[in-house]
Amino acid sequence: KPCPLCDEAKEVLEPYKRRFVLQEVDITLPENSAWYDKYKYDIPVFHLNGKFLMKHRVDVPKFEDRLRKLELQGE
């Protein structure tokens, strides 16, 4: 559905798309009802490597820091 904050977040994350895989989850689908119950008032929500990272807007410094740490672990 219309989600201006989601669209904004995807634009902010665009330059990083080669460094991670973006998986979008539509929380309105029945199979995602647990996510809906948890986050219906807080979209978009971001998890990185399965762990909660941030919500509403992309905190670029936080995202870059966490992404860099994950990349270093993988070396």
Q: What is the rounded CA–CA span in Å between residue 58 and residue 46?
A: 8
Tens digit of each residue's pLDDT (9 = 90 or more) over 23-71: 999 999 999 999 999 999 999 999 999 999 999 999 999 999 999 999 9
Q: Which residues are 45's β-sheet partners? A: 55
The domain that holds 28 is classified in CATH as 3.40.30.10
Looking at the structure of the chain, the number of domains it has is 1
Phi, psi of 56 (to 5 degrees): 75, -60
What local confidence, expressed as pLDDT, does residue 66 receive?
96
Report CA torsion sign: 6, 7, 11, 14: positive
The amino acid present at 60, given as its one-letter code, is: V
Q: What is the rounded CA–CA span in Å between residue 64 and residue 69?
A: 9
- pTM, two decimals, is 0.85
What local confidence, expressed as pLDDT, does residue 74 receive?
80
Domain limits for position 54: 4-73
